[in-house]
Amino acid sequence: MNKAKIIKRIAAGALAALTALTLTACGDSQQTASVSEEQKQAVVLTVNDKDFTATQYAAAFLYNQNRLDSMLSGYGQQTSKDITDADDRKVYSDNIAQLAEKQLAYLTVCEEQMQAAGLTVEDSDIEQQLKEQAEMMGGDAALDSYLKEMGLTREQYSDFVRLSVMVSKLRENYFAQNPDAARKAFDEQYLRCKHVLIKTVDDNNAPLDNQDELKAKAEDVAKRAKAGEDFDTLIANYNDDPGMESNPDGYVFTEGEMVDEFYQGTKALAIDGISEPIQSTYGWHIIKRLPLRDEDFESKKSTIEESLFSDLVDTWQESATIEGKDGINEINLDTAAAYVQ
């Protein structure tokens, strides 16, 4: 995955990513800018009626710099400490700024929703999260060392821990109030099917020579399936999709998880209906739609709940009024650490 796609993926606003508490200390916090106390305490961002100082914004900047560096490093891409070209550093810095601003907006709207729901974050909640983080990293000294390398104090990092706790409480409260929401979304959005794939391309996606023969084969399989021949036997004898071996009960999927021809072809069928051959870039698909089962829902439940709640928080955030103030653009890759020291 290239850098632009990775940054776009992160900036898309996945709630799990914005509240993740993974630390890798990939960023370079060795910065030499000199910043006065007045500059540090200046308000540089307002979300609704909540003001954020330069220090608070810079802490979010450094946290998201670490997160972006970590993901890019995992894909073998350059991170902030590797980028020396001025224009490239500005682009990278601007992307971190976008993430930091969005995270502080999430923090604000989650605080508002917590108050509206009568929920609170206790000191013990934050302490427990910090304890778990320290244990994962090898102890308190290791956690403090990582935070120091990233440029944050434990107190500053606690704000992001608090956001994670708030998200957990709000999510739990939402599904307690809407216990059927995930199942309803599953029944409306997900499909289950088996199929026989007659491939029309080789392993390098180059078209095979015998296209007419392959089409005729697919038509014959579809005719036999519609006539009542056992579909699993047809899969065993004719299917070219190795994925069916690891999914003997069929694929369970929603829009965007399969090629669109496969999704639309399955959606158009009644339960237990069998399709005519449907062509995709892989070949010809003969699809049998199957009913969704309780175990299918359980396997997708956490993913659906994450998506539903992320969409809800996005709605909260979209209604927020966000205003950058004078001085916010002064906080970047080369200066952020100075604002939190």
Give tens-digit pLDDT for 266-277: 999 999 999 999
pLDDT in tens, 158-190: 888 999 999 999 999 999 999 999 999 999 999
Cα separation, 93 vs 70, in Å, equals: 15
Mean of the pLDDT values across residues 195-214?
A: 96
Residue-wise pLDDT for 123-132, tens only, equals 999 999 999 9
Q: What is the pLDDT of residue 197?
A: 98
Cα–Cα nearest to 111, from 55, 158, 50, 46:
50
The two three-digit tokens of residue 38, written as one number: 């007045």
pLDDT category of residue 1 using cuts at 50, 70 and 90:
low
- Percent of the chain as helix, strand, coil, to the nearest 5: 60, 10, 30
pLDDT in tens, 50-67: 999 999 999 999 999 998
Q: Give the mean pLDDT of the chain.
A: 90
Cα–Cα distance measured from residue 108 to residue 125, given in angstroms and rounded to the nearest whole number: 19
Q: How many helices (H) and strands (E) does the chain have?
A: 15, 7
Asked if 195 and 258 touch (Cβ cutoff 8 Å), the reply is no
**DSSP string across 210-248:** -HHHHHHHHHHHHHHHHTT--HHHHHHHH---THHHH-T
Cα–Cα dist 275/306, whole Å: 33
Give the per-residue pLDDT at 76: 85
Tell me the percentage of the chain whose pLDDT exceeds 90: 73
Does the structure show a pLDDT above 70 at 3?
Answer: no
For the beta carbon of residue 279, count every other beta carbon within 10 angstroms.
Answer: 14
Q: Cα-flanking dihedrals φ and ψ of residue 63, to 5°? A: -60, -45
**Predicted TM-score (pTM) of this structure:** 0.78
β-pairing verdict for 43-47 and 283-290: unpaired
Does residue 20 carry a pLDDT above 60? no
C-alpha triplet 9, 191, 277: angle, nearest 5°? 105
Q: Residue 87 — pLDDT band, cuts 50, 70, 90? A: very high
Average pLDDT on 117-137 reads: 92
Looking at residue 6, what is its pLDDT? 56
What distance in Å separates the CA atoms of residue 163 and residue 313, rounded to the nearest whole number?
12
Which residues 6+ apart lie within 8 Å of 26 measured at CB?
66, 69, 70, 73, 79, 80, 81
- Alpha-carbon distance of 193 to 200, in angstroms, equals 21
* Residue 13 confidence (pLDDT) above 50: no
| Beta strand segments in 103-158, E | none
